[in-house]
Structure 1
């Protein structure tokens, strides 16, 4: 049984705990929140016996083995490093941190303390993503990767009414690229590695974060085209185009239907049915790694998380998007 704590008492933590509720080797024992009332309310809801309003006290507790971090992006690095330094395994929500410098410090802390650190990018553990990877060879030489995640935010109307919530606040290292664009970038890195060049543009909101944007990413013999938005919707699928055919993916963040259309007119459906929430798959992988004594995922590896962070940094530089966290180096 792996005893877990959670940081964050929001909808994403709710979704995570619902996804793992039938996992017989996952036990929620602790909840952190900035306020005692909220921590106790959330702990009671999920029958956790311990609550914390101090990350340091949570880190030294002997009542948990691992922690799922779902706090605002700008808190990820400090919280993860504190936990790692006290021997706790960490599953940290995407994006891993505010920038690549913070990611480096997180990875160094994990290695130094011989514990597991993994980015909670659920897409890459999805059974259908495994099928994407396993069928790429059928496309011939790959020439283009296109991915789109454009979803009108439920918080945007509140923003337009004059209230800036976390999702549109640069203090929390947020915005469309960090929230949604990363779902298109991380799978690209897993599939194709580190690109040679990154170009990016965006629509900047008055709050100081991007509302939507696009990336053009150059590899040696192919390119990636990424669109993301929190202020519009899109119904476009994603594609991987090869010289022998094109793979069409209904929704890259959570692929449900995948079809290859070959040059000769043949069509092949390669997807399978997803059972339950995709967050179960990432949690299952994380718990299995702990039980196997492994300190790094081969899928959501340190390398893949770091390369993704460097792409986010390069895109933000082109966009002129600077976070307060960019001027701070986090202590190990």
Structure 2
């Protein structure tokens, strides 16, 4: 399957390292804003074609599918352009700046009969399957707690007066979009739509959010999501039930899952999985195309939309506005 890639940052490198594990994947074309970067990246991975114009790449007939790893605010525009040229789209998370954009993207996928999937890797990993399969062992679930707090490598530059992409709200970036989404998406997959949302956060002078928390209410349980790009945390995430607690180590890519029962016993649920965790999302995406399916049964359009609706409401409550919201 002939792939194009939009974006040449570090996540694109990780994606292509993982793609080596996926049978039939072939990198054919690379887009970058500068010819120099495009050619350098293409040479590194053996891609035959480079572009500095996305429209030309989409119209070239050289690619069947594309992985979009550009800044968040470009996801909708670039995805729709590619889908309108009959190209299948795997779009890095978060799939869009807001729910309104995502609805337009989902419509474009349906209109053109192509696969469109958000590249949320965590919910496709074997260890997330272990979470789903063993959830009934907890009995009645009463709380979901997801924590992803990681001091950004770019925060020191921000404090020096620079404006790196990670803290630039004009790009639809910040801690909620970059890290908080990893706590929200699995919640949506496991428990669906909440009844109520209460959010708080810390806005930096740039207008981006440095950290935040969201409390979500369900009929008989609650959920707490904590995220930060300006502090670290070593807390595991948890699902607490009346029979015991499931500890999830690494909510963005679970690498260990265990249940600690009320009687003091423990059960290790961890499954073997590749260190190249993005391979699972690539394999899912390619499999959908080959099977002629319209969307992933796990990373569905409905779940991606609900995740963005939750983030939209959280941003509304803390006063976090992106330029993309006003278009």
- Band of TM-score, shorter chain: over 0.9
Question: 5+ residue gaps in structure 1?
Answer: none
In structure 1, how many angstroms separate the alpha carbons of the residues matched to 2:263 and 2:107?
50
175-184 or 33-42, larger mean C-alpha shift: 33-42
2:75 alignment counterpart: 76
SS in 1 for 2:223: strand
CA drift at 1:256: 1.2
In structure 2, how many angstroms separate the alpha carbons of the residues matched to 1:9 and 1:275?
23
Question: 5+ residue gaps in structure 2?
Answer: none
1:325 alignment counterpart: 324
In structure 2, how many angstroms separate the alpha carbons of the residues matched to 1:148 and 1:271?
19
Query: Is it true that 1:176 corresponds to 2:175 in the alignment?
Result: yes
Report Cα offsets for 1:124-176 as digits up to 9, x if no partner.
01100001000100011111000000000000011011110111001100000
Report Cα offsets for 1:210-238 as digits up to 9, x if no partner.
00110001111111101000011000000
Cα pair 2:146 2:224 within 8 Å, conserved: yes
1:267 alignment counterpart: 266
Equivalence map 1:15-164=2 (5 Å): 15-164=14-163
1:256 alignment counterpart: 255
CA drift at 1:266: 1.9
Change (3 A) 1:262 1:22: closer
Query: Is it true that 1:225 corresponds to 2:191 in the alignment?
Result: no
In structure 1, how many angstroms separate the alpha carbons of the residues matched to 2:205 and 2:21?
44
SS in 1 for 2:30: strand
SS in 2 for 1:97: coil
Query: Is it true that 1:307 corresponds to 2:306 in the alignment?
Result: yes
1:208 alignment counterpart: 207
In structure 2, how many angstroms separate the alpha carbons of the residues matched to 1:160 and 1:274?
38
In structure 1, how many angstroms separate the alpha carbons of the residues matched to 2:308 and 2:19?
27
Runs of 4+ aligned residues of structure 1 deviating over 3 Å after TM superposition are: none
In structure 2, how many angstroms separate the alpha carbons of the residues matched to 1:77 and 1:260?
39
CA drift at 1:123: 0.2
In structure 1, how many angstroms separate the alpha carbons of the residues matched to 2:261 and 2:234?
23
Return the TM-score normalized by structure 2: 0.99
CA drift at 1:259: 1.0
CA drift at 1:56: 1.0
In structure 2, how many angstroms separate the alpha carbons of the residues matched to 1:182 and 1:41?
32
Cα pair 2:127 2:270 within 8 Å, conserved: yes
In structure 2, how many angstroms separate the alpha carbons of the residues matched to 1:116 and 1:63?
17
2:297 alignment counterpart: 298
1:11 alignment counterpart: 10
Cα pair 2:21 2:279 within 8 Å, conserved: no
In structure 2, how many angstroms separate the alpha carbons of the residues matched to 1:44 and 1:224?
46
In structure 2, how many angstroms separate the alpha carbons of the residues matched to 1:24 and 1:259?
32
Return the TM-score normalized by structure 1: 0.97
Report Cα offsets for 1:252-297 as digits up to 9, x if no partner.
1111111111122221111112223110011011111111111100
Report Cα offsets for 1:26-85 as digits up to 9, x if no partner.
000000011111111111111101111111111112110000000000000000000001
Cα pair 2:236 2:247 within 8 Å, conserved: yes
> What's the C-alpha RMSD, in Å, of the aligned pairs?
0.8
2:281 alignment counterpart: 282
